[in-house]
Amino acid sequence: MSAESSFSSLRYSICLSGAAAGDTVEASAKLAREVGAAIARSGHILTTGATVGLPYQAALGAQSAGGTSIGFSPAVSLREHLRKYRLPSNCYDFINFTGLHYVGRDLYLVQSSDALITVGGRFGSLHEFTSALEAHKPCGILTHSGGTADQIPKLVEALELPDNSLVIYDDDPDRLVKRIVKILDEKNADLRDLLEHHNQEWFLGDPPRPRTG
């Protein structure tokens, strides 16, 4: 296995955060699908709240591009997911039934993802964005998608974030995903070094020594 193919096995989980209902769902449905498809084409994994609206559109986009999509449900089981919460199940490769309701599900979703991309959105998306920032996750904002995504730049400016480098803005879904992946590649350069200079079962032996010189 080549060094590049070794590193490509390191797949990032990128969360699409967006409104389940409201004005931005219809206005930005195509953009959400494009983000999901772009994540799939990049070889990484789409994560969402397993809900309707823009996250659902993103999951459809990832599915159409042959990608992997994981949903984090507020429900405790498939029955509750479908009956109580009335949420979709047809576009996910796997659903994690968190049993944490919506607020707990949001935190679990963010903590389980390597980065977050906000498209449109309402208060739930703002909660996921601030949770991602607190966890020092890269956050991509798809500008001109309405709702929370278009309010975040004003909030960031007003609240003076300690590290503005965590938040990037772009109006092009494919370009935004590529920029997020680039940040994650840089952040995980040590893992690249590990996978390039040790076999894929390095964890079964003695801890690898740091390279010098």
**pLDDT tens-digit readout, 52-78:** 999 999 999 999 999 999 999 999 999
Residue 202 has a pLDDT of 63
What is the SS3 assignment for the chain? Answer: CCHHHHHHCCCCEEEEEECCCCHHHHHHHHHHHHHHHHHHHCCCEEEECCCCCHHHHHHHHHHHCCCEEEEEECCCCHHHHHHCCCCCCCCCCEEEECCCHHHHHHHHHHHCCCEEEEECCCHHHHHHHHHHHHCCCCEEEECCCCHHHHHHHHHHHHHCCCCHHHEEEECCHHHHHHHHHHHHHHHCHHHHHHHHHCCCCHHHCCCCCCCCC
User: Which CATH number does the domain housing residue 126 bear?
Assistant: 3.40.50.450
Residue 209 has a pLDDT of 63
| Residue 117 contacts residue 152 (beta carbons within 8 Å) | no
Query: Does residue 31 form part of some domain?
Result: yes
What is the spatial distance between Cα 106 and Cα 145, in angstroms, rounded to a whole number?
21
pLDDT in tens, 132-176: 999 999 999 999 999 999 999 999 989 888 788 899 999 999 999
**Rg of the chain on CA atoms, in Å:** 18
Query: Does residue 28 form part of some domain?
Result: yes
Domain count, the chain: 1
pLDDT in tens, 22-39: 999 999 999 999 999 999
Q: What is the pTM for the complete model shown?
A: 0.89
Query: Does residue 194 form part of some domain?
Result: yes
Query: Does residue 210 form part of some domain?
Result: no
Query: Does residue 83 form part of some domain?
Result: yes
Tokens of 74: 């507020």
Query: Does residue 209 form part of some domain?
Result: no
Range of the structural domain that residue 102 is part of: 3-198
pLDDT in tens, 95-143: 999 999 999 999 999 999 999 999 999 999 999 999 999 999 999 999 9
| Residue 25 contacts residue 55 (beta carbons within 8 Å) | no
Unique residue bearing structure tokens 């409104």: 19
Query: Does residue 20 form part of some domain?
Result: yes
Query: Does residue 33 form part of some domain?
Result: yes
Backbone angles phi and psi of 99, in degrees to 5: 65, 20
